[in-house]
């Protein structure tokens, strides 16, 4: 009989156990979310070393901030990915403050990895790809630049030549459209 996959309720139990300091809870959460978290970090940072460091830092921060998890605001996976995303943004902004030579660039095919859903959920991956493909190309590019490139709204206005209000409204519209398409 095949093993059953952990559910969102199982993940919420694990975060509650982590909040109580129970042994094994952090490891179980790491096992559940390390793969997708690493892929998001690698997509954003384009450096395996940086992605691994942020992955470790994200789970250390998860342990410290487990008490801030609110199931009304999203799943445990969303909470973990948000922590990792913020750490990646910090690293990207630090890079811009002190530029460094890099072997690869975000446009390099070797680093253009999709931030896919966990391997055990191909249906979720298809849903994400479908939702993203429903966006018009310019809105999708803005969203990818903001999320994966770590660009602020102000930086996006400079990159695109669009007014700040237009950038913000297009991003909001794209996020709302994604949310609408992702609803079960």
Are 147 and 92 within one domain? Answer: no
For residues 32 and 97, membership in a common domain is answered with: yes
Write down the pLDDT at residue 80.
94
Determine the pLDDT at residue 148. 78
Question: Where does a domain end: 116, 142, 159?
Answer: 116
Query: Residue 79's domain spans which residues?
Result: 1-116
Of residues 146 and 118, the one with the higher pLDDT is: 146
Quick one: which of 78, 99, 66 has its CA closest to 178?
Answer: 78
My answer on whether 70 and 48 are in the same domain is: yes
Domain boundary (116, 137, 156) is at 116
Whether 35 and 22 share a structural domain: yes
Same domain, 15 and 105: yes
Question: Are both 21 and 109 inside the same structural domain?
Answer: yes
| pLDDT in the model for residue 107 | 46
Answer yes or no: do 163 and 176 share one domain: yes
Do 76 and 163 sit in the same domain of this protein? no
CATH number at residue 25: 1.10.1740.10
Nearest-angstrom CA–CA distance, 38 and 44: 10
Within this chain, do residues 110 and 175 fall inside the same structural domain, yes or no?
no
Same domain? For 66 and 99 the reply is yes
Q: What is the CATH number of the domain that holds 144?
A: 1.10.10.10
pLDDT tens for 35-45 read 999 999 998 89
Q: Domain boundary at 67, 87, 116, which?
A: 116
Please indicate whether residue 100 or residue 89 has the higher confidence score (pLDDT).
Answer: 89
Q: Provide mean pLDDT across the span 62-90.
A: 92
Single pTM value for the model: 0.65
Dump pLDDT digits (tens) for 127-171: 677 777 888 888 888 888 888 788 888 888 998 999 999 999 998
Tens digit of each residue's pLDDT (9 = 90 or more) over 8-38: 788 999 999 999 999 899 999 999 999 999 9
Cα gap 45→93, rounded to integer Å: 11
Structural domain tally of the chain? 2
pLDDT band with cut points at 50, 70 and 90 for residue 3: low
Tell how far CA 145 is from the center of its chain. Answer: 13
Burial of 36 (0-12, 13-18, 19+ CB in 10 A): buried
Residues 133 and 171 in one domain: yes
Residues in Cβ contact with 106 at an 8 Å cutoff, skipping those fewer than 6 apart: 46, 112, 148, 149
Same domain, 95 and 149: no
- Is the confidence at residue 101, as pLDDT, over 80? no
């Amino acid at each position: 009989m095949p093993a059953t996959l952990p559910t969102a309720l199982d993940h919420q139990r694990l975060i509650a156990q982590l909040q109580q300091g129970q042994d094994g809870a952090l490891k179980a959460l790491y096992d559940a979310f390390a793969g997708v978290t690493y892929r998001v970090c690698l997509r954003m940072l384009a450096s395996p070393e940086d992605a691994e460091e942020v992955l470790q830092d994200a789970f250390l921060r998860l342990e410290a901030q487990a008490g801030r998890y609110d199931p009304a605001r999203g799943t445990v996976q969303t909470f973990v990915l948000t922590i990792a995303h913020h750490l990646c943004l910090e690293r990207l902004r630090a890079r811009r403050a002190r530029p460094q030579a890099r072997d690869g660039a975000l446009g390099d095919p070797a680093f253009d990895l999709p931030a896919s859903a966990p391997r055990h959920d191909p249906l979720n991956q298809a849903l994400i790809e479908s939702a993203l493909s429903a966006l018009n190309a310019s809105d999708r590019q803005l969203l990818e630049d903001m999320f994966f490139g770590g660009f602020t709204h102000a930086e996006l206005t400079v990159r695109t030549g669009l007014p700040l209000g237009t950038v913000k409204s297009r991003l909001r519209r794209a996020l709302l459209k994604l949310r609408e398409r992702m609803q079960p």
